[in-house]
Amino acid sequence: MEVRCRAPGKIILAGEHAVVHGAAAIAASIDLYTEVRISLHPSGQENELLELDLKDMGLNLSWPCSQLKEVLGDCSADGSVLVSCTSEKLELLSGLVAQKNMPQENVQLNSGLYAFLFLYTSILGYKPGKAVVTSELPMGSGLGSSASFCVALSGALIALSEGFSLKTKEKKDQFSFRKNDLELISKWAFEGEKIIHGKPSGIDNTVSTFGNMIKFKKELKTTNPMMPLNSTTPLKMLITDTRVGRNTKSLVSSVSERVLRHPDTMTSVFNAINSISDELALLVESPAEYKVEVSEKEEKLKELMQMNQGLLQCIGVSHESIETVVRTTMKEKLVSKLTGAGGGGCVLTFVPTLLSAAVTEKVISELEQCGFRCFMVEVGGPGVQVFPC
């Protein structure tokens, strides 16, 4: 049996940092994907292995299934029953990965490997098989690469689990998950994200699973702080990866410290960012049938992004590399804002419908000359998808 599953990355359109302090944030899927292909091997053979091929890294790892069972013990291997990774199990997984003597430059992958082993054995048990992973998403840049991996992996594992059946779509080369299955995939992916990040918000795995856009606010008086948004107009963004690493925890802490020093002022800033998120949510769902309406809608979006970037700058999370992108794109009357934690990472530039290809190419060329990497993406597309092999 073999299946491949892909899941998108994500961007934060509005609300970074302020969301930690009670404001709303808007997140959306992008058409950059992580793909996981899993093939199960016949059981009952000698030297059964669980293999992991990380194509982009050039890493090929394997564990004997008998060793996994000996170390981790018996497990229910039921994908329909969600379980969390205990600290004791995490220690055992750490030992299994440590035996591989990972090169120093790949040590940051360790938590992802723990998540892989946990999700695979929890859903499929100790069945021999091989997982091949490829991704279009840069790691550690705020585009949800780890959630994309966890969602694609969970989707493939759920699709291969016993008693599961996919819903056939009109296209012969594609199946689809049912809503209940998507909710289960998102929950399993969240368990993987907890292994990788400790205390994730749940935004990344939700967007990667369901696609489109969501509005997230901790204080929404519902059992689920995430509200789906239905975008009525296609959006294009130029994503610039500054290649500048950032420390998310440090940036979040610096904002909290600024709140302590200037409580009233920072509350006003967060309220303004909340208003931007609220207005943006209404804007993306508003109809725009004619060119004039589309242009007006895009102009409002640009203004909201510009204001959001200014507010992020004033709370201290911008960076010289981000401001370089803002200045470079501003020459062509384009608007940019950071996405995610800031301090480097990635920057969004809104691409209007009527912008010429020549202008886009010129901007990309100038940004690449600065040492940055650029991706043109469509925003708000489908979430996790599964394909037969």
Percent of the chain with pLDDT over 70: 95
- Tell me, what CATH number does 18's domain have? 3.30.230.10
Tokens 């997984």 label which residue? 93
Tokens 């695979």 label which residue? 120
pLDDT classification of 282: cutoffs 50, 70, 90: very high
Residues 261 and 291 in one domain: yes
* Residue 31 in this model has a pLDDT that exceeds 80: yes
**Residue range 286-297: mean pLDDT, rounded:** 82
- What pLDDT digit, counting tens, does each position of 218-259 carry? 765 555 678 999 888 889 999 999 999 877 878 888 999 999
> In this predicted structure, what is the pLDDT of residue 173?
60
Residues 104 and 197 in one domain: yes
> What's the domain range around 273?
237-377
Residues 121 and 193 in one domain: yes
> Measured between alpha carbons, how far is 93 from 71 in angstroms, rounded to an integer?
9
> Measured between alpha carbons, how far is 334 from 155 in angstroms, rounded to an integer?
38
User: Who wins on pLDDT, 252 or 50?
Assistant: 50
Residues 241 and 276 in one domain: yes
* Residue 298 in this model has a pLDDT that exceeds 80: yes
Among 56, 74, 173, 204, the one annotated catalytic: 204
Amino acid found at 274: N
Tokens 């060329």 label which residue? 365
- Tell me, what CATH number does 315's domain have? 3.30.70.890
User: Who wins on pLDDT, 359 or 140?
Assistant: 359
Smallest CA-to-CA distance from 266 within 276, 257, 253 is with: 257
Residues 200 and 251 in one domain: no
Report the number of secondary-structure helices (H) and strands (E) in the chain. 11, 14
Q: State both tokens at 126.
A: 């100790």
Residues 89 and 178 in one domain: yes
- What pLDDT digit, counting tens, does each position of 132-171 carry? 999 999 888 889 999 999 999 999 999 998 767 666 655 5
Residues 73 and 175 in one domain: yes
Residues 209 and 289 in one domain: no
> Residue 199 burial by CB count (10 A; 0-12/13-18/19+): exposed, middle or buried?
exposed
pLDDT classification of 267: cutoffs 50, 70, 90: very high
Which residues have CB under 8 Å from 301's CB, separation 6+?
235, 280, 283, 350
C-alpha pair distances (Å), 35 with each of 193, 234, 272, 351, 386: 17, 24, 38, 27, 10
> In this predicted structure, what is the pLDDT of residue 174?
62
Residues 188 and 248 in one domain: no
> In this predicted structure, what is the pLDDT of residue 71?
94
Residues 188 and 268 in one domain: no
The angle subtended at Cα 206 by Cα 219 and Cα 182, nearest 5°, is 125
Whether 217 contacts 19, CB under 8 Å: yes
Amino acid found at 292: V
Catalytic residue flag (residue 204): yes
> In this predicted structure, what is the pLDDT of residue 39?
96
> Measured between alpha carbons, how far is 380 from 11 in angstroms, rounded to an integer?
10
Domain total of the chain: 2
R_g over Cα of the chain: 22
* Residue 217 in this model has a pLDDT that exceeds 70: yes
Residues 256 and 143 in one domain: no
Residues 340 and 203 in one domain: no
User: β-pairing, 59-64 with 49-54?
Assistant: antiparallel
**Residue range 98-111: mean pLDDT, rounded:** 81
